[in-house]
Amino acid sequence: MILPGIIIALAGACLFCLVRAVLGPTAPDRVVAIDALTAIISAALVLLGVFYRASFYLDVALVYAFLSFLGTVAISKYLEGRGLES
Amino acid sequence: MIDIIGNVLLGVGAACALIGSMGIVRLPDVYNRLHAQTVSIVGGAIMILLGISLIEGLSLYSLKALTIALFIFLTSPVGSHAIARAAHKSGVKLWPKSVVDKLAEEKP
């Protein structure tokens, strides 16, 4: 496998997303950057879990992706100024 | 053969993740950054997960990776749509060189 190059590329991608999450002028900028960061970290977790033969990394990646989606929807509802039931 | 296809998918996915994150930093606007975020998620993360499951063959790891890929593929458009609509409703300005804004025309 070509694992070290892929891990270095994913680390660079995470660094760029963190730069936007720190610099972002408005709140939706930060949410967009954190969403991309979460998807990339899920892929890296699955990569490391398959490489080290540790199955729990994949469960962690699934729960992490689910919590990212939940947080994105909750923050967007909050920014719209409505409750979760409407 | 399947191993070669999986490695190519891994390389293309890593390149797409890096390019999409560069777009998130460089583009001028929330809505343009959403475009780059889609490249980074669907082209990067999902392609890496498909490459892992192709290399791995049929096992517990590949089934879990395919489940995560399907979940991200289903929920990423929902989150992008919700955050774009919330940004437009909460008054985030468009880039000044933007051409058309159909949602502002639709408002009563």
- The mean pLDDT value of chain B amounts to 90
Q: Confidence band (pLDDT; 50, 70, 90) for B4?
A: very high
- Is B24 exposed, middle or buried (CB count within 10 Å of its CB: 0-12, 13-18, 19+)? buried
Q: How many CA atoms lie within 13 A of A66 on its CB side?
A: 8
pLDDT digits (tens, 9 = 90+) for B13-49: 999 999 999 999 999 989 999 999 999 999 999 999 9
pLDDT digits (tens, 9 = 90+) for A22-42: 987 888 999 999 999 999 999
**Per-residue pLDDT at A73:** 92
Alpha-carbon Rg for chain B, nearest whole angstrom, is 17
ipTM: 0.89
Question: Looking at beta carbons, which residues of chain A come within 8 Å of B71?
Answer: 62, 65-66
Per-residue CA distances from B53 to A50, B13, B21, B23, B104 (Å) = 9, 13, 24, 28, 44
pLDDT at position A86 over 70: no
Question: Looking at beta carbons, which residues of chain A come within 8 Å of B45?
Answer: 39-40, 42-43
d(C-alpha B25, C-alpha A79), whole Å: 22
Tell me the whole-structure pTM to 2 decimals: 0.89
Residue ranges of the domains in chain B?
Answer: 2-94
pLDDT digits (tens, 9 = 90+) for A37-52: 999 999 999 999 999 9
Q: Confidence band (pLDDT; 50, 70, 90) for A1?
A: low
**Per-residue pLDDT at B108:** 59
Out of B45, B60, B83, whose CB is closest to A76?
B83
